[in-house]
Structure 1
Amino acid sequence: MNRRRQKKLTRALLLAVWTDDAGRVRALLRAGADPATPAADGITPLYAASVHGAADAVRLLLAAGAPPNSESGGTGSEGTPLCAAASWGHTDAVRELLAHGADPTLREDGGTGLSPLDWALLGPHPETAALLRAAGAGPRPPGALAVNRNG
């Protein structure tokens, strides 16, 4: 597939994810959209689906081969899909990611940032935190950084 067509498919896939249109996501994946290809700004389709809690899109992207632990690079949209879903308490998306091999202990920023459990606790999203703990996420280390989510 040529590069131009793949760019168009990637843009269309991100739009379908942002609008939570699972039928369109499915059709674009069948048409050859690569679930692992980030947009020009670095955001990955799986990150976009995870941060919006679009569990059906998350499931489709993972089934099509999107890597569950890869970090997105878009400005303001950087991080792992599991951290994105956990930070907003999207338990259905968290369940899908965990079922497809997302690492509940993986920290963002190349391993130096916050973990999915940190994000869930900061939410606070106790149901998401319990789900992550059941999947093997350890306790939050004493003195872990607090994050100001408003900038």
Structure 2
Amino acid sequence: MNRRRRKKLARKLVTAALLGDAPQVAALLLGGAQPDTPNAEGSTPLYAASVHGDAAVVRLLLAAGAVPDAESGRGTEGTPLCAAAAWGHLDAVRELLAYGADPNLREDGGTGYAPLDWATKDVQPHPETAALLVAAGARPRGA
């Protein structure tokens, strides 16, 4: 597959993941789109699905081989688990953990927030998500 086609498929896959279009995501994966290839802005399909909490699309991408801990956005977005935790998307968090996402992995190359930090932020805490992360082994900052 040539570079131009890979870029086009990556753009379409990120868009379909962002929109939660599971049938389109499945079709693009069958058509050769790679589950980890970012679009031109550096966003990965798994991050796009996770930030919007679409567990079905998250599951499709992970089953196709997407790496659950891959950072997205060249430092502007973060990890899929942090994205799902920040918005309290419990089902997406479950899927990511089931596929091996690290509940203690900090964003920004290890210097930023961890998923539990996002789930417990004062502005908009998500106690059920935090409890799920703790059950999966997440440790509070400094612990």
TM-score (norm 2): 0.94
1:65-80 matches, within 5 Å, as 65-73=65-73, 76=76, 78-80=77-79
Structure 2: give runs of 5+ residues left out of the alignment.
none
Please give the per-residue CA displacement for 1:5-44, whole angstroms capped at 9, x wherever unaligned. 1111111111111111101100100000001101111111
In structure 1, what is the equivalent of residue 142 of structure 2? 141
Q: In structure 1, what residue type is equivalent to 2:106?
A: R
- Cα deviation for residue 141 of structure 1 reads 3.0
Please give the per-residue CA displacement for 1:44-98, whole angstroms capped at 9, x wherever unaligned. 110010000011110000010110011002574x200000000000000000000
Q: CA RMSD in A?
A: 1.3
Q: Is 1:101 paired with 2:100?
A: yes
In structure 2, what is the equivalent of residue 82 of structure 1? 81
In structure 1, what is the equivalent of residue 60 of structure 2? 60
Q: In structure 2, what residue type is equivalent to 1:86?
A: A
Measure the CA separation in 2 of the matches of 1:104 and 1:95: 11
Structure 1: give runs of 5+ residues left out of the alignment.
143-151
1:1-151 matches, within 5 Å, as 1-73=1-73, 76=76, 78-122=77-121, 123-141=124-142
Identity in percent:
71
How many residues align structurally?
141
- Cα deviation for residue 140 of structure 1 reads 3.4
Report if the CA contact (8 A) 1:41-1:75 is conserved: no
Runs of 4 or more, structure 1, over 6 Å off, are: none
Measure the CA separation in 2 of the matches of 1:118 and 1:88: 12
